């Protein structure tokens, strides 16, 4: 004898399979396409460049100044043992690290899906923003021609040396490195997860046996 089987035209009472969802049309949600990611990356680069000008202004305002004076023949450091030069580099690096972390946080909050294009946009924008910040600080800072400045102010008069970066490479890489590290960390911790595969029907369907 054969065990009774469920008629083929009737579903099994234990069948808990859900109908497969239809694929979402492009642009209806989820991760964007390549063109959209490139546009988002371009916006990130442009915003970073604008923020670079703010970085330069903050560096000009917060960086310690190196004091110089002239005796009419040569220019000398007022404090030969001062640490203002190191402080200028450190101020720029700290500001760049903060700008990079903030940029990564804002990009993650707006585009939680992540993507390599956004990471590259953060890196490129960080480098360009740092270059612009350095240029703004130097351009708006004290006179870069030290000899002419010394002649203009006269002998035995203290004046500020121009802003400069001794650790130039580290200063230019601080922003993009901080942006990429923070963005990757946020994406790994709080980014969207891939859906887990669904389990089979429960309880399992009874097996049929034949003598």
Predicted confidence at residue 27, as pLDDT, reads 43
pLDDT at residue 109 is higher than 80: yes
89: helix, coil or strand?
A: helix
pLDDT at residue 120 is higher than 90: yes
pLDDT at residue 91 is higher than 90: yes
Segments making up each domain of the chain, as ranges = 52-189
196: helix, coil or strand?
A: coil
Confidence of residue 172 (pLDDT cuts 50, 70, 90): very high
In 10 A of CB 48, how many CB atoms? 28
More confident residue, 12 or 129: 129
> What is the reported pTM?
0.72
Confidence of residue 83 (pLDDT cuts 50, 70, 90): low
Beta bridge partners of 68: 77, 159
What percentage of residues in the chain have a pLDDT greater than 70? Answer: 70
Helices 116-140 and 34-62 cross at an angle (nearest 10°) of: 30
Beta bridge partners of 67: 160
Average pLDDT over residues 38-47: 92
**Residue range 56-67, pLDDT digits in tens:** 999 999 998 888
Predicted confidence at residue 113, as pLDDT, reads 74
């Amino acid at each position: 004898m054969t065990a009774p089987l469920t008629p083929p035209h009737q579903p099994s009472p234990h069948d808990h399979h859900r109908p497969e969802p239809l694929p979402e049309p492009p642009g209806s949600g989820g991760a964007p396409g390549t063109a959209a990611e490139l546009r988002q990356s371009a916006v990130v680069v442009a915003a970073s460049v604008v923020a670079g000008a703010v970085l330069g202004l903050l560096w000009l305002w917060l960086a310690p100044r190196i004091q110089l004076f002239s005796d009419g023949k040569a220019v000398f450091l007022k404090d030969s043992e001062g640490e203002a030069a190191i402080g200028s580099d450190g101020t720029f690096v700290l500001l760049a690290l903060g700008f990079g972390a903030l940029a990564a946080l804002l990009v993650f909050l707006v585009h939680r899906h992540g993507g390599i294009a956004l990471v590259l946009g953060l890196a490129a924008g960080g480098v360009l923003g740092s270059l612009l910040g350095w240029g703004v600080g130097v351009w708006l800072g004290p006179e870069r021609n030290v000899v002419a400045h010394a002649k203009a102010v006269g002998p035995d008069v203290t004046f500020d040396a121009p802003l400069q970066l001794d650790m130039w490479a580290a200063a230019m890489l601080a922003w993009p490195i901080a942006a990429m590290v923070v963005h990757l960390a946020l994406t790994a911790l709080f980014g969207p997860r891939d859906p887990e595969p669904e389990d089979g029907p429960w309880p399992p369907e009874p097996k049929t046996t034949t003598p």
